[in-house]
Amino acid sequence: MTDKSLPFTQEQLEAIAAEVPTPFHVYDEAAMRKNARTFYAAFAWVPGGFVNYFAVKALPNPHVMAALKQEGMGGDCSSLAELKLCAAVGITGDKIVFTSNDTPAHEFVEAARLGAIINLDDLSHIAYLEKALGGRLPEMLCFRYNPGPLKAGNAIIGKPEEAKYGFTRAQLFEGYRILKEKGVKRFGLHTMVASNELNPDYFVETAQMLFDLVVELHRELGIRFEFLNLGGGIGIPYRPEQTAVDLAQIGARIKAAYEKTIVANDLGPIRIAMECGRMVTGPYGYLVSRVLHKKAIYKNYVGLDACMANLMRPGMYGSYHHITVPGKEAGPRKVYDVTGSLCENNDKFAVDREIADPAIGDLLVIHDTGAHGHSMGFNYNGKLRSAEVLWQGGGQWKLIRRAETYADHFATLDYPGLG
Ligand SMILES: *Cc1c(COP(=O)(O)O)cnc(C)c1O
């Protein structure tokens, strides 16, 4: 079970809404930092230090990234914009992992200029990168492993053979052999094959799989690995009946696997990294909107001033996001479809959901929007991207992104009368 009570009162939200137009996303900084510390404590045993490379795409706001940097996190980037955000907040060098796919040459050039750890997605990218960098390779390189159709017994890992990412097992052996031949000196290995996974066994199995692979790669090629990146994908309890992953338990079980495999084969020390996004910021973000309309036709509807352009997950994946009405937690409840205003019938935040019965004009809060929320937004129907607010506790908050204006929206059109 997960407590879905809000970290702010109705009055505190109304005070923000008096200055920042709804809808907006608000992020709870203290809760995010506390979670980051729990995460790092679970991996404090890692020889040479543990790093979580925050997946920038989850919440690409430099104010949040700067707070996460203070907590020791690096940045996981897959595009030039994400590299620029990292550089702006002072995340550079081996605090960046650049895990892109289908990557244009100039993005590799910028990643190399920043000293990022480059994680290649395919065997053919070795030559592509070498050409992009004017005929040389970085001193350190990493490959992304796609475990494909694993043996029975590894069912937890899902269906990586359907995914476009990474090297096959055979290609990994070939790839590291080529790197060695070309004089690359430092090696990493990465995998990322799940998303929003709440089963802790999955992460322990992924670690064990990489540890075993490192033993075999060492046996066959004589290379030693400097770090292993277990990827992201730790899930969050979107539903109140779900429970967050026990990070301390995962950390302890991965430690046991490390000792049994890496230490026993005398292949340490190997640094361990992860690149979680959702788990780092997801539960600490809230989309705050106002009820504009209610209607009763064949079903009952609550219409908001937020829409799918502010939070795409429910419309796109049918994802559950918890909904509360501040100040009405103890009041009567009723079943509604909660909708936005796009001319798309899947613009619904909830379908047939029993919620506290709101009145027109009430604030309504959609939970767990701190990852893949604002960042997945778009401008369909000319909807403007919302503001983002950082909640600093005790009634203190700061605007960390203003809402778009129509001038922003029309800025790329050169046409009289628009702006
Ligand atoms: C999206 C992504 C992540 C983050 O995934 P979460 O589910 O947010 O933890 C990490 N690494 C890569 C390569 C990704 O594409």
DSSP state string for 239-264: STTS----HHHHHHHHHHHHIIIIIT
CATH of domain 43-276: 3.20.20.10
Please report the pLDDT score of residue 149 as a whole number: 73
Q: Is 236 helix (H, G, I), strand (E, B) or coil?
A: coil
Report residue 225: phi and psi, to 5°.
-100, 140
CA of 303 to the centre of ligand 1 (A): 32
What are the counts of helices (DSSP H) followed by strands (DSSP E) for the chain? 12, 17
CA 416 to chain centre: 40
Q: State the Cα–Cα distance between residues 118 and 235, nearest whole angstrom.
A: 25
Closest ligand 1 atom number to CA of residue 196: 7
| Ligand 1 binding residues, C-beta < 6 A | 55, 57-58, 76, 78, 99, 192, 195-196, 231-234, 275-279, 371
Numbered ranges of CATH 2.40.37.10 in the chain = 283-410
Whose C-alpha lies nearest to ligand 1, atom 1?
A: 55
Closest ligand 1 atom number to CA of residue 119: 13
Please report the pLDDT score of residue 212 as a whole number: 97
Please report the pLDDT score of residue 158 as a whole number: 58
CA of 63 to the centre of ligand 1 (A): 20
Closest ligand 1 atom number to CA of residue 371: 8
Tens of pLDDT, residue by residue, the chain (419 residues): 999 999 999 999 999 999 999 999 999 999 999 999 999 999 999 998 999 999 999 999 999 999 999 999 999 999 999 999 999 999 999 999 999 899 999 999 999 999 999 999 999 999 999 999 999 999 999 999 999 876 434 455 557 777 889 999 999 999 999 999 999 999 999 998 888 999 999 999 999 999 999 999 999 999 999 999 999 999 999 999 999 999 999 999 999 999 999 999 999 899 999 999 999 999 999 999 999 999 999 999 999 999 999 999 999 989 999 999 999 999 999 999 999 999 999 999 999 999 999 999 999 999 999 999 999 999 999 999 999 999 998 899 999 999 999 999 999 999 999 97
Task: For ligand 1, pick from 57, 77, 143, 191 the residue to mutate: most ligand atoms within 8 Å of CB.
Answer: 57
CA of 278 to the centre of ligand 1 (A): 8
Helix 105-113 crosses helix 124-132 at what angle (to 10 degrees)? 70
Q: State the Cα–Cα distance between residues 168 and 164, nearest whole angstrom.
A: 11
Task: For ligand 1, pick from 51, 53, 73, 76 the residue to mutate: most ligand atoms within 8 Å of CB.
Answer: 76
Enter the pTM of the model: 0.96
Whose C-alpha lies nearest to ligand 1, atom 10?
A: 232
Helix (H) or strand (E) holding 112: helix 105-113
CA of 376 to the centre of ligand 1 (A): 14
Numbered ranges of CATH 3.20.20.10 in the chain = 43-276
Please report the pLDDT score of residue 153 as a whole number: 40
The residue with tokens 């379908």 is 351
CA distances from residue 225 to 138, 214, 215, 268 in whole angstroms, order as listed: 15, 7, 10, 8
Task: For ligand 1, pick from 191, 275, 279 the residue to mutate: most ligand atoms within 8 Å of CB.
Answer: 275
Please report the pLDDT score of residue 163 as a whole number: 81
CA of 222 to the centre of ligand 1 (A): 30
The answer to whether 338 and 302 have CB atoms below 8 angstroms apart is yes
CA of 74 to the centre of ligand 1 (A): 13
Please report the pLDDT score of residue 79 as a whole number: 97
CA distances from residue 126 to 100, 118, 173, 325 in whole angstroms, order as listed: 13, 11, 14, 53
CA of 145 to the centre of ligand 1 (A): 14
Helix (H) or strand (E) holding 366: strand 363-367
CA distances from residue 175 to 172, 193, 311 in whole angstroms, order as listed: 5, 20, 40
The residue with tokens 């494909």 is 148
The fold of 283-410 is Lyase, Ornithine Decarboxylase; Chain A, domain 1 (2.40.37)
Please report the pLDDT score of residue 150 as a whole number: 63
Closest ligand 1 atom number to CA of residue 282: 8
In one-letter notation, the amino acid at residue 210 is: L
Please report the pLDDT score of residue 161 as a whole number: 77
